[in-house]
Amino acid sequence: MMDRPGAILGRRYKLEYCLGAGAMARVWCATDLHTQERVAIKRVLETVRDRADTTERFFDEIRVTRTVDHPHVAAGLDHGLDGGPFLVLEWVDGVDAHALVSRNERVSLGAGAVIALDLADALSAVHGHRTGVLHRDIAPGNVLLSRDGRALLSDFGLSRWLACPRAQPAHIVVGKLGYLAPEVLRGRVHGVRADLYGLGATLWELLAGRRLWAHETDPAARARAWLRSPRTPLAEVAPEVPGHLAAVVDRCLAMDPAARPANARALRDALERALTRDRITPCRDELACAVWTATKDLPSPQPARRVRRSRAEYVTVSALAVPKTIRPQAIAAAG
């Protein structure tokens, strides 16, 4: 079955227009014909539906998304099979955080506080849900910001159950290089603190109004630099951010996972203390205003687009993509 506007999945969901696509799946705006409400549908691409690894990963994503229930996690509403698996998600009217980062404008402190607290709450629920889930892909593109001033965590395509911890094979690293914790790049066993690193990088960029790491087209060079270089303290590039809040964000970016907050609940507690000391009041109206500003010029409906992230952004790095003359072990020991 070829997906196209007007097609109906599961005798219930009418595809309206494509929101974007990646290497494995396409996301559609759709209408639930039973409720007449708008939903988002994630659908495995026709070209990879016969691949067992792709299908297994997608069903894992369905299981995670349908079982984690939290107001700051994009809700999985339904799923089904119709020429291939599909996942129905709640429709979030707004933008992803990448839309704000790409404008090179920092969010207000009130809006940033809302995003930080909402995502800490979301991760606390995700990590603590039953056996617990590790998201493994925290980045601005997977943080949805709604026009009513909410932040929601989305996209569990790379998630893993915490009950089955294991090291990533040393020759394979999957994710967005700018948001991967050092222990992930080194192929080591990692836990919830790796997700806190991705959250810290996302908050750093939103509060600084710029990318944490300069764009590097060569993923191997970027991976090596990422492991060797200390992170720039937030206060150096955004002196407007008060010291206690900046310090919490910087802690999330510690090279040593033991120096980061112990878990998402500890991070939320640290954020609350910092906001109180810095006299910052979380303000959903400020976040809503930022989202409206970012979306006011967007056409409706948005035209279909294929999302092509650069290899430096979202990659599977084989042996950290280093030349054969450099051993992966040498990179793993760097830093």
9 forms bridges with which residues in the sheet?
13
The reported pLDDT for the residue numbered 318 is 36
8 A C-beta contact, residue 41 and residue 30? yes
| Res 307: pLDDT | 39
Higher pLDDT, 84 or 189: 84
Q: Where does the pLDDT of residue 184 fall: very low under 50, low under 70, confident under 90, or very high at 90 and above?
A: confident
Report the pLDDT averaged over residues 193-220. 86
Residue 135, pLDDT score: 92
Domain ranges within the chain, ordered by starting residue: 8-90, 94-297+313-321
pLDDT at 101: 87
* pLDDT confidence bin for 309, thresholds 50/70/90: very low
Question: What secondary structure does DSSP assign to 52-112, as a single string?
Answer: HHHHHHHHHHHHHHHH---TTBPPEEEEEESSSEEEEEE---EEEHHHHHTTT-PPPHHHH
Question: Is 137 noted as a catalytic residue in this protein?
Answer: yes
Q: What is the pLDDT of residue 321?
A: 35
pLDDT above 90: residue 226? no
Average pLDDT over residues 195-208: 97
Average pLDDT over residues 210-226: 70
pLDDT tens for each residue of 97-154: 998 988 878 999 999 999 999 999 999 999 986 668 999 999 999 999 999 999 999 9
Q: Tens digit of pLDDT for each residue in 243-284?
A: 999 999 999 999 999 999 999 999 999 999 999 999 999 999
Query: Confidence class of residue 295 from pLDDT cuts 50, 70 and 90?
Result: confident
Highest mean pLDDT among 12-21, 108-117, 211-220: 108-117
Q: Give the rounded percent of residues in the chain with a pLDDT score beyond 90.
A: 56
Which CATH architecture fits 8-90? 2-Layer Sandwich (3.30)
Confidence class for position 3, pLDDT limits 50, 70, 90: confident
Mean pLDDT of all residues in 185-196: 89
> What is the CATH T-level fold of the domain 94-297+313-321, as seen in this structure?
Transferase(Phosphotransferase); domain 1 (1.10.510)
Give the mean pLDDT of the chain: 83
pLDDT winner (highest mean) among 100-104, 298-302, 315-319? 100-104
The pLDDT score that the predictor gives to residue 161 is: 81
Helices (H), the chain: 52-67, 97-101, 109-128, 182-185, 192-208, 219-228, 234-237, 243-252, 264-278, 284-295, 328-332
pLDDT value at residue 262: 97
Distances (CA, A) of 279 to 113, 115, 147: 11, 17, 25
Q: Which of 3, 78, 121, 137 is catalytic?
A: 137
Q: Choose the weakest-confidence range: 15-24, 128-137, 179-188.
A: 128-137
Measure the CA–CA gap between 171 and 117, rounded to whole angstroms.
35
User: Region 2-28: what's the mean pLDDT?
Assistant: 90
Going by pLDDT thresholds of 50, 70 and 90, the confidence category of residue 300 is low
Q: What does pTM read for this prediction?
A: 0.85
At 230 the three-state DSSP class reads: coil
Residue 165 has pLDDT above 60, yes or no: no
